[in-house]
Structure 1
Amino acid sequence: MSPTITHLKEGKANSLVFAGVNFNIYKVRIQAKLRGKGLWKVVIGEDTRDDDADDDDEFDSKEDKAFDILVNSLDDDNLAYVSHVTTSKEVWDLLVTRYEARTYADVSHVIHELHTKVYVPGSSMQKHVTDMRGLQQKVLLMGSRVDDDMLGRILLTSVKEAFPTMVKILRSREPSPTLDQITNRLLAKEDEMKSRTTTKRKADDEQLLYTGKPDKNRPFKKQVVKDKCHYCHKVGHHAFECRFKKRDLAKGITRKCIPIEGEDQINILQHDDDDEGFILATTDESPRSDIEDAWILDSACTADVTGDKTRFAKLARTRPSTMQLADNTTVQSM
């Protein structure tokens, strides 16, 4: 039952009362009621008064009944609107004039809404289809009609921005898909998009968990050094972090390392950490002939040298090369 058209029991069964809206529904019901009593032609003016007296009495009887039904089918507002007229035709013409134009305007508005409704990506496809169906039914109740084939085409237009490829495929099919086929395909497409989004989100989460580990802030843990410091000769740290070297540098003392007790002291006159070269000097000045049978040890050299080949258990001869010593003299190696 329409919320604006009520049925009252006031001596007559199912009395119809029009409250001012849904005129097209009221129009169908009142027309059916008047037709059932043979009064509809009087209301629309097809039956008129004749010159014959007997026919006049019959017409007046029908007119009175039609007027009674029409007037008593109106609420107080509409009754006041037609209270100045005296025939059923005049009552009906006033109602049509008052409500038909409004109905046509309402229908145009609903049809415009139906054709301009657009699916919002990510929203419920089922709700979108239901809303379109609701507008179709609303147009039908207003006395107009949008059939299922037309609604199917309108539905495809409403989703073409979200699914352009699918819409193009469905529009190219022969014969054209039915409304049910279009609806089922749209719902399936929505499920497919949801599944793809869920899978991508899961993959992204796993990737974030994986790549996030190296960037995680961790408390600084000093690495244990097992090497020997070349400056103070102690194990457990490097020369660049040696506190003895830092102390000496603060005092202006520059040397390669702290001398070991019992050994000749070696002083570094110049040493740049960014440069591998340095100048070496010893405190012992001896003729070259006195050290021919001794090893020359230099941690900066790529090899240690000696002038006594008997010190080698096995000797492999290579191509002779020239070596430059610390005093800028050169010797031939074998």
Structure 2
Amino acid sequence: MAEKLVSFPKLNGSNYDNWSFRMKLLLTKEGNWIAVAGTKPEPVTEVWKLKDEQALASIGLAVEDNQLIHIRKAKSAAEAWKALENFHVKRTLTTMVSVMRKICSLRLEKHGDMEAHVSKLAELFEKLHNLQPGKILDDEWLVAILFSSLPEEYETLVTALEARPEEDLTLDMVKGKLIDEWHKKKQRNGDEDDSEAVLYADSKTETDRCFFCKKLGHQKANCEKFRVWRAAKESVSVTKQPKAGTKQPKVVTKQHKANNVSQRNEDHSRSLLVAAIKRKNCGY
């Protein structure tokens, strides 16, 4: 029956904080939390023994297999609970510094999810509180950390809240105000997007009519149908083939012209040489 009631994730190596809270609620619901947190009676009554056995069984059924090693030797629910707490909650200076660094480095991005941000900070605050049992973290200090993690778009609200009396600035009140403001910003941003869409639709006048496809919203230069038509037209090569028997025009290049000039000069030189030889032979 206990296993059926465990509807939350079993204990693993990273979820002890949430698991321990839910497990306490479950044992309380079953009426067996007293076996973990209460004082064992002397002599032990049958009622106490039954509650202790049921609480130990519930704890064992709510952990992953790799966590059973910590509670195998436990003789009571209180021993099992303490063993798991000692393993997962290391109350050392190193652990506290690590949690504090996470708290101080957490920042909400512009237009970020305020609900998720506040929940994450609250989780880290709770973890820090568990590392210092018996010590209560001051709300004023927690509120200051929350304010310092916000982007500039919340500066006006932060300034207004800081003007209130310090006794009014509880963490719960501030979280509520910030989440309300986030919802309002989301609503305003949604309305602005709708307005821009309407203005864009209204701006489609006759000046935006395409002269090719006759539709509104674009001009001919940006018309997809015109681009397709033009591409198809340019891909067709129009060439004229010569008729059969037609003499092809002779193509004369610069090289041909140069060769002709050189040949004429050579012929002229040869003629002059022949003429000179004849004159000499004739006695001229």
TM class by smaller structure:
0.3 to 0.5
Higher alpha-carbon Rg:
1
TM-score scaled by length of structure 1:
0.38
Which structure features the higher share of strand residues? 1
